[in-house]
Chain A
Amino acid sequence: MNCEEAQLHLGGEPAALSDALERHLSGCTACQTFRRETQRFERDLKRSFELPVPGRRSVSASISMIRSPVATPRGAGRSASRFTRRWAIAASVALATALGGLLWTFHPTESLAGDVVTHMEGEPDSWSGTRALPAASVAGILAASGWRLDPGSADVVYAQSCWFRGHWVPHLVVRTDHGPVTVMPLRAERMPAAESVHARGYDGELIPFDGGSLAVMGRDPGVVTPAVLDLLRSALHPVG
């Protein structure tokens, strides 16, 4: 476990302390400091959440409305209703199992493409941006992962630094003529050849790039064009 991963866990779930995290902490003063600060902040956070609430209200009154025969005039049909409900539950379970099986079958969990898609699914709001972000904020996020983008080369409408497969990577959404595309330069992910991705509503390309790879994904077929790939390849540069 490195410092980035340790601090992600400390900041994401301060109450949890795995063996790996404990081992890392025992030899890292920076993360020990980070943990102390996080724990202090956590105490404030818990106190701030403790808003006063009014005294108990009529839970019993509300419930008794349902319990009363007026509110539940189904006495005679109770057994039929239960039977129907059990069937409904059984049908739901069967459907959920079947859907789960289907999803599992088509879920490329082990592949880089699958992980990129899963990551995008986890950030649905990334697609909602319409205004180009200030160049300085995009540059800051890219620089944090050792990248830079030629100024004025692309309209970036979303930029975050994301934890992906053990590394912080830039997650950009760039506006193109055909629609927005997600762009993730992945320095640590080597790949021998380009790969087209068509999975779970996303279409795009994973291409070898600067010793690692570059994921460019859209939500519709035809958005990730060769021209878009060429533009990104020429505008993105590793730093340091």
Chain B
Amino acid sequence: MVILARNKSPDDPVSLPAETLESTLAALRPELLRFAQWLTRDRALAEDVVQEALLRAWRSQAALRDPAAVRAWAFTIVRREHARLYERKRLEMTSLDEAIDNDSAELAVDGEAELIELRLVIYRLAKEYREPLVMQVLGGFSTAEIAEELGLSLPAVLTRLFRARQQLRMLCGELPE
């Protein structure tokens, strides 16, 4: 096989300067942590996931093709790190009540009863519905991006997102069960 040298193409990775990437990741950290907490339902675990994800992002910065897409790229790494963590460690399942107890202080911040109730209900949502919903609402992923990331068809994602909201509204008493 002969490999020919070629000029730089538009598809080649365009890295951010190291300092820019570092400060961008630092600025994104609160959002990433929030995202991870809704995925893990565990603040301490979310911290670990984000820390691992940031390190992974730094190591794989050459894979960042579009510097403007750094936010979506970082969110994707967090999601994958979360999935990887579960695959690798086969984490012990914490009961939902325990998870809610552990994070009750954060869930209760802001005081409004309806908001707190909604947070508790989101915690109770099954992962298959919670994950695409968190990706859409917090991560800003499009339905097509969620489908690609989760390996689902577009209609399947749309249905899950629809059902997630319907279930939340039902559990909050807005819709009849």
Residues on A lying within 8 angstroms of B by beta carbon are 7-9, 11-14, 16, 37-38, 41, 44-54, 56-57, 59-60, 62-63, 65-67, 118-119, 121-123, 125, 162-164
Is B55 within 8 A of A45, CB to CB? no
Given known A49-B34, A51-B106, contact A12–B159 (CB-CB < 8 A): yes
Cβ-closest 10 pairs across A and B: A122-B156, A12-B158, A11-B162, A12-B161, A12-B162, A59-B26, A48-B118, A53-B30, A53-B33, A63-B58
In the complex, the chain A residue whose C-beta lies closest to that of B165 is A11
Given known A45-B137, A47-B115, contact A59–B25 (CB-CB < 8 A): yes
Q: Which of B34, B55, B153 contacts A51 (CB 8 A)?
A: B34
Residues of A within 8 A of B174 (CB): 37, 41
Q: How far is the CA of A67 from the CA of B22 in the complex (A)?
A: 11
Q: How far is the CA of A67 from the CA of B107 in the complex (A)?
A: 37
Residues of A within 8 A of B160 (CB): 12
Q: How far is the CB of B6 from chain A (nearest CB, A)?
A: 13
Q: Please name 10 pairs of A and B residues whose Cβ atoms are closer than 8 Å in the assembled complex, sorted by A.
A: A13-B158, A45-B165, A45-B168, A51-B37, A60-B22, A66-B55, A66-B59, A125-B126, A125-B128, A163-B162
Q: How far is the CB of B171 from chain A (nearest CB, A)?
A: 12
Q: How far is the CB of B82 from chain A (nearest CB, A)?
A: 16
In the complex, the chain B residue whose C-beta lies closest to that of A52 is B109
Is A49 within 8 A of B159, CB to CB? no
In the complex, the chain A residue whose C-beta lies closest to that of B47 is A57
Cβ of B40 under 8 Å from chain A:
no
In the complex, the chain A residue whose C-beta lies closest to that of B32 is A53
Q: How far is the CA of A67 from the CA of B19 in the complex (A)?
A: 12
Is A63 within 8 A of B54, CB to CB? yes
Residues of B within 8 A of A63 (CB): 22, 25, 54-55, 58
Cβ of B77 under 8 Å from chain A:
no
Residue interface bits B134-147, CB-to-A below 8 A is 1, else 0? 10111000110000
In the complex, the chain A residue whose C-beta lies closest to that of B57 is A63
Is B158 within 8 A of A123, CB to CB? no
In the complex, the chain A residue whose C-beta lies closest to that of B50 is A57
Is B153 within 8 A of A119, CB to CB? yes
Is A60 within 8 A of B156, CB to CB? no
Residues of A within 8 A of B153 (CB): 118-119, 121-122
